[in-house]
Amino acid sequence: MREMGWLALASVLCASCASVQSSDQDAAADAALADAARLDAGRIRLPDASRPRRDGATEGTGPPYPIVLAHGFFGFEDFAGVGFITYFYGVKDELADRGEAQVFTPAVDPFNDSETRGEELLAHVERILAETGAAKVNLIGHSQGGLDSRYVAHQRPELVASVTTFATPHRGTPIADVVLQLVDDPRFSSLADRLVRLIGAALWDAAGEETSVFASLGQLSTPGADAFNARYTNQPGVAYYSITGRTDRSDGGADCMVADAPPFIGRYRRTLDPVEPLLDIPEQIVDGGSADVANDGLVRVRDARWGRFLGCVPADHFDEIGQLFGDGPGWGNDFDHLLFYAELIEWLRAQGF
């Protein structure tokens, strides 16, 4: 149980996922030549919007574009070596069963800032485009994965059709502020001590010397988020959407109010979520002792709004990705994370992506 305790803060932007395997450069070049030959023969036609990419290759096919699920803090490919526990628990298989064959879950540095992680995600995106022949991707980022996705869209907007962030702390999270001792509030001192003990040395030991936990937490702090937002702005031609969760049996109040919420979110407006016990301490820090501060146990709703805000779902930070290990969201809550991702992607397809 102690091991699961530090997983709670690890989810200050949680993680997992299989790495993307792509064709090597020679194979990609051969495929491009073959496509050119078929084009000359009149058997295929590239989209009218085709234009050269930075790497000199020709842009590929239009929508529907591949889906890239970007994980958050504390990424892992194979949790505890069991071989079946993934960050977006069961999502890729569910989407495949529904006909979404081009869904990718690339793994990036589990502990680092979103410039470092974003560059790694960008490299995955470029390989995915080479592998699939698509012109762009749709990025769906959970928690810190949303910041990584925004970085990719800022650096290479021509490769990204849409960015959807889910429970991403665009304006930072009090958790990072407390751990980094950026707030001096006696109400939080004992909670902060307990939280650090929960994290324990395991989290830092797991990071080793090749990454930086503090770089990540620094960016997820309030001043770190402000600096990131100033530098990595939204880009024309990329659609930006955001969604987040609410827990502790809160209906979200005004923070979650959206006049045009899509049906796959609006159906849950009267559903409440009991907070995951492992998130009890972080949730107390995040809401600051006020029941009016809607949050998912790690990220406040008001900090997760970015671009077109689509609304809140009754889910804590674990429920949003089907964790822990596929268990349900709690008594009285019928939120289904597998259905959520399937319907989110259906909605993106209906928007032309």
Which among 71, 124, 142, 317 is annotated as catalytic? 317
CA 84/CA 299 separation, integer angstroms? 27
Which 8-state DSSP code applies to residue 320?
G
Active site residue 114: no
For residue 331, the tally of other CB atoms under 10 A from its CB is: 7
Exactly one of 11, 16, 143, 216 is catalytic; name it.
Answer: 143
d(CA 270, CA 333): 10
Contact between 18 and 70 (Cβ < 8 Å): no
Nearest of 261, 246, 271 to residue 344 by alpha carbon: 261
Distance CA 165, CA 183 (A): 27
Give yes or no for a contact between 295 and 256, defined as CB atoms under 8 angstroms apart.
Answer: no
CB 304 within 8 A of CB 165: yes
DSSP H helical ranges for the chain: 2-10, 25-40, 91-97, 114-132, 144-155, 174-179, 186-207, 213-220, 222-231, 263-266, 280-287, 301-304, 337-350
Quote the tokens at residue 245.
């969760």
- 143 is a catalytic site residue: yes
- Is 71 annotated as catalytic? no
CA gap 13, 221 in Å, rounded: 13
Catalytic residue among 273, 296, 316, 319: 296
Tell me if 77 sits within 8 A of 107, measured CB to CB.
yes
Tokens of 130: 């080479």
Separation between Cα atoms, residue 344 and residue 244, nearest integer Å? 13
Instruction: Locate 207 and state its tokens.
Output: 């990071």
Fill in the DSSP letter of residue 41. Answer: T
CA atoms within 13 A on the CB side of 170: 28
Distance CA 176, CA 10 (A): 11
Q: What residues are labeled active site?
A: 143, 296, 317
